[in-house]
Structures are given as structure tokens and as C-alpha cells.
Structure 1
Amino acid sequence: MRTRSRLIVAVSLALPTLASAKMEDVSCDDSARMTNMLTEVLGAERQGIGLRDPETMLEVWVTRKSGDWMIVQNYANGTSCIVAMGEHWEAAETGPA
């Protein structure tokens, strides 16, 4: 019981920090490091990819467990930036338009 109480207190204290960290951590980084952070640290999976122009590609990353999503813009120079993020991702089923 004591261990459970300590865990609840620790999580409660960390939640405000985690919530505020989402927007503060939005930045650009080397594409390889960005991919590693998304997959290894956040547990996200790339759900879609599209060419914006000859120099720019967009990716949609989703963390299935939490439903968080991020749109990452990749540049030809090897830099990637998180340009949008949100919650409650719901995949659309493909079918006739």
C-alpha cells in the first residue's frame, strides 16, 4: 500500500511537468535524431508520408497507446521540425470516396 501511494504521488507531481513539456520541446533537430526520439523515446509510429514540394516532406506520427499525434516536416538539408501536435488520434478507414 505504501509503495502504491508513493507511485501515485510521484506520477501526480510529474504530470504538470510532462504536460508543459510537450509544447516547450517542439523544435527542429537532425532528421535521424528526430526519428530516434519519436520511435525510441515516445514510442510513436509513422502513419503517413507525403511530398509537400521538391525540398520538403511531411510525416504523420502517432503514439497508439496515448493517441498523441505529431506532424513532422522534413527538409532536404537533413533537418526535421515538429510543426503540429495533438491528442485523440483516430485512424480513418479506407474505402470508396
Structure 2
Amino acid sequence: MTLSALIQTTCLCLVLAPAAQAKSPIAEVICEPTDRMHEKLERQFGAERAATGIRGPEQLMEVWTSKSGDWTMVVTYATGTSCIVAMGENWYTHAKVDPARG
């Protein structure tokens, strides 16, 4: 390998290294006691629970949405802890069309 190629490879590695170390937005899951989590979602973010589903005997999945379109997915555990596992924006609820009304 020539000196020029070695320098180019080293520079490329230095440029790409921070990108490889970047964390996912949900790399750090946020957990709180369920009451506190619900209070934060309601008061700080203006969110309300839009959907709930049972994931198993110990877990409940919740989707919280705000009027601005932000959404938060929360897992609530039987232990009394809730964790944010995903967040996003532009939430849209699809209305069902009654086929009898065309």
C-alpha cells in the first residue's frame, strides 16, 4: 500500500468513525413508574392514550398521541413500570368507511 493510499484510508476511517458510533433515538429506553410516566405524557407533552393492547400476561402496549401529531409507544409492565420504546411524528388515525353508506 502506498503512503497516499494509507493516508486516504486513515482519513476515511476518521470521518466514518463518528457515524458508526451514533446511537439510535431509542437506544436509551426511558422508564418511570407508570403513574409518573402517564402524568409526564399528559402534562408535559399534551398527549392522550389513543390505543391499548395486551402483549402478554405481564405487558400492555400503549400508543399516546398529541394534537400536533407526535406519538409515543409505551410498554407498561405488571411491576408498575412503564417504558417508552418508540417515538415519532405525523400520527394519523384512519377512519373506517361504512360500506353501507358508500
Same fold (TM over 0.5): yes
Tell me which residue corresponds to 1:50.
53
Aligned equivalents of 2:97, 2:82: Cα separation in 1:
31
Question: Structure 1: which 5+ runs fail to align?
Answer: 1-21
Q: Which amino acid aligns with 2:76?
A: N
Report the alpha carbon displacement of residue 26 of structure 1 after superposing the two structures with TM. 5.0
Residue identity opposite 1:43 in structure 2: G
Matched, 1:82 2:81: no
1:28 aligned residue (21, 26, 31): 31
1:61 aligns with 2:64: yes
Larger C-alpha radius of gyration, 1 or 2? Answer: 2
Shift in Å, 1:23: 6.0
Task: Give the TM-score taking structure 1 as reference length.
Answer: 0.69
| Separation in 2, partners of 1:34, 1:95 | 34
1:91 equivalent in structure 2:
93
2:57 aligned partner, one-letter code? P
Letter in 2 for 1:27: I
Aligned length, in residue pairs: 75
Give the 3-state SS of the residue equivalent to 2:46 in structure 1: coil
Using the TM superposition, give the Cα deviation of residue 94 of structure 1 relative to its aligned residue in structure 2, in angstroms.
Answer: 2.4
> Any idea what the Cα deviations from partners look like across 1:56-80, whole Å, max 9, x if unmatched?
000000011x210000000000000
CA distance change for structure 1 residues 24 and 69 in 2, over 3 Å: closer, same or farther?
same
Which residue identity is paired with 2:54? L
Query: Deviations along 1:23-73, whole A, 9 cap, x unmatched?
Result: 698500000000000001110010000000000000000011x21000000
